[in-house]
Structure 1
């Protein structure tokens, strides 16, 4: 079980961390997504910081398990908010969202299972 927990947590942290960096440096893809979702560009920094905190929280969970669990749960909520933004904008292209959401749900599931909470 530990190997699965380790692999999924590291993968999720890396992918979410890359998304955070893309937001923080003002990469074109997150800007286009924000435009499609009618989210102001001024939100890019706070959203990037939330993603970065989530990615770091997943890693911190190796030392303090409750931090990993809370980070994974927070990321699930973050991506549920992103889903709502897609619906509000009537954008039904859920491919990239589904990848991110699946990763954070898997991270939460293995975190709970590994630490005996699920």
Structure 2
């Protein structure tokens, strides 16, 4: 299960880093989507920091499992919030991506807990 945790931690860290970077550079597509959902641009740095912290925590969790488990819990909550934001804004077409990321982020959480 430890190897599976490593694989999922790395796979999940990649979209977190890409998404965080897109928020920091205010990618036009991301900015348009977030604005349409009612998320102001003032939130972008904080959201990017949460994504970077989650990615870093998952990767450090390879060596220190308690941090990886805590990071995975945070990432699950982050993407659950993203899913709720899409649904609250009536963006049903945009909801599958955060829904999939909630499920994907649950994998390192479960694997991290089971391989302690």
The TM-score with structure 1 as length reference comes to 0.89
Structure 2 residue 83 is the aligned partner of structure 1 residue 83: yes
- Alignment deviations for residues 2-48 of structure 1 (CA, whole Å, 9 cap, x no partner): 22111111101112111111111211232122122111011111101
In the alignment, which residue of structure 2 is the partner of 1:30? 30
Q: Which one is further off, 85-94 or 43-52?
A: 85-94
The TM-score with structure 2 as length reference comes to 0.90
Structure 2 residue 41 is the aligned partner of structure 1 residue 41: yes
4+ residue stretches of structure 1 with deviation over 4 A?
Answer: none
In the alignment, which residue of structure 2 is the partner of 1:69? 69
Q: Give ranges in structure 2 of 5+ residues lacking alignment.
A: none
In the alignment, which residue of structure 2 is the partner of 1:57? 57
Q: Is the 8 A contact 1:24 1:49 kept in 2?
A: no
Q: Give ranges in structure 1 of 5+ residues lacking alignment.
A: none
Calculate the aligned-residue CA RMSD, in Å: 1.3
Q: How many residues align?
A: 115
